[in-house]
Amino acid sequence: MDRLSEVAKLSDPSKSNYVERVNRVLDHIHHHLGGELTLEALSKVAHFSPYHFHRIFKSLLGETIKEYTQRVRLERALYLLSHANPPTLTDVALACGFAASSDFSRAFRRRYGVPPSQFDVASYRRQQRDRLQDLLPEDERHLLAKLPPGENPDGFVVDFVEAPPRRVAYLRVDRPFEPGRVTDAAERLVTWAQERDLAAGQWLGYMWDDPEIVELELCRYDVAVEIPADLRPRGEVGVFDFPAMRLAQVELAGSIDLEQRAIDWLYHTWLPASGFVPDHQPAFEAWKGLPFAHGHTHFELAFQLAVVREGPLG
């Protein structure tokens, strides 16, 4: 069980309230990386005094607010630099909340050892992908072998979906690549939803972090279900409002390696030639029915990538 879930399950009801407030701040940070993310501003989001919130955040996350914010800004910048036709360093810096490209370059060098102009993004992605493959049993590691750009052996086809604004209830999973963590969270949220007659909503899985960019131990995955806009869960079950967005969607029915090939094809073949770029939203797994309804090895879902027309960074 992750640290936030452990706190939420303590007998003191205020502990669950702490988790709710910290999750609210994490959602705000990821959705406003280019905005004001000072301790004072985030304390207002959490409805804590700055002094107390600094201590609470550090105790629950293991990082200070400044450390966490700086890290996710740099990870977002690395993500922007890792795709075809990357924007300028100045554009990346401003989009990720740095005052100038010089500030961005200094922070980047402190974290990654070299300035962004000298960083080998492709090599870094390969190393992260190798780490992800190493989590699988040796006879299954070939399933995550990278699909070369330009190849589409599965005949993937993209459909566009215009998604309206959506409210979701979610459980957040730290270290989601460890066995059982996502499935346990899904079972708990399904039980929660069934008790409230909400289980018929669209079920989603999504991760704000790209595991080929972010250290696997720091990735977070949300198991979520769409709920009516007038509902607001409390405590361990968080709530998030997604804006309307355009989704590039691939329908899938098969094992985890099929989904990985679809992701490779979308990012490395379809996206560069599409005239679109990824929006600052997570990629979604839109389940057919309940999560893991078809077991833990066969999946039926739509992989959905939020996209916008290529242009200046927002």
Work out the pLDDT band at 3, boundaries 50, 70, 90. very low
Angle in degrees, 0-180, between the axes of helices 65-81 and 39-46, rounded to the nearest 10:
100
pLDDT tens per residue, range 17-72 = 788 889 899 999 988 888 889 989 999 998 888 878 888 888 888 899 999 999 99
**Taking all residues of the chain, what is their mean pLDDT, rounded to a whole number?**
87
In 87-153, where do the E strands start and end?
A: none
pLDDT tens per residue, range 168-179 = 999 999 899 888
CA distances from 165 to 122, 130, 203, 286 (A): 35, 36, 15, 15
Amino acid at the residue 220:
R
Burial string for 40-58 (b: 16+ CB within 10 Å, else e) reads eebbebbebebeebbebbe
CATH homologous superfamily for 70-118?
Answer: Homeodomain-like (1.10.10.60)
* Nearest partner of 301 among 256, 246, 247, judged by Cα: 256
C-alpha triplet 90, 95, 100: angle, nearest 5° = 40
Mean pLDDT calculated for residue range 290-298: 90
d(CA 213, CA 236): 27
Q: What is the per-residue pLDDT for 8?
A: 44
Res. 2: pLDDT tops 60: no
Give one DSSP letter per residue of 4-41, joined into a string: HHHHHTSS-HHHHHHHHHHHHHHHHHHH-TTS---HHH
Asked if CATH classification 3.20.80.10 holds for the domain at 159-309, the reply, yes or no, is yes
Mean pLDDT calculated for residue range 194-212: 93
| Percent of the residues in the chain that have a pLDDT greater than 90, as a whole number | 52
Neighbours of 26 (CB within 10 A): 21
d(CA 34, CA 96): 5
d(CA 270, CA 126): 20
Burial class (CB in 10 A: 0-12, 13-18, 19+), 86: middle
Largest CA distance in the chain: 55
Say if residues 96 and 73 touch (Cβ distance below 8 Å). yes
Question: Which residue has 């992260």 as its token pair?
Answer: 128
Q: What is the per-residue pLDDT for 13?
A: 38
Work out the pLDDT band at 310, boundaries 50, 70, 90. confident
> What phi, psi does 254 have (nearest 5°)?
170, -155
12 vs 293, which has greater pLDDT?
293
Lowest mean pLDDT among 1-5, 161-165, 204-208, 286-290: 1-5
Burial class (CB in 10 A: 0-12, 13-18, 19+), 109: middle
How is the chain split into domains, by residue range?
3-62, 70-118, 159-309
d(CA 273, CA 313): 18
Q: What is the per-residue pLDDT for 208?
A: 82
Question: Which region, left, alpha or beta, applies to residue 230 given φ > 0 means left and ψ of -120 to 50 means alpha?
Answer: alpha
Torsion sign, CA atoms 69, 74, 79, 84: positive
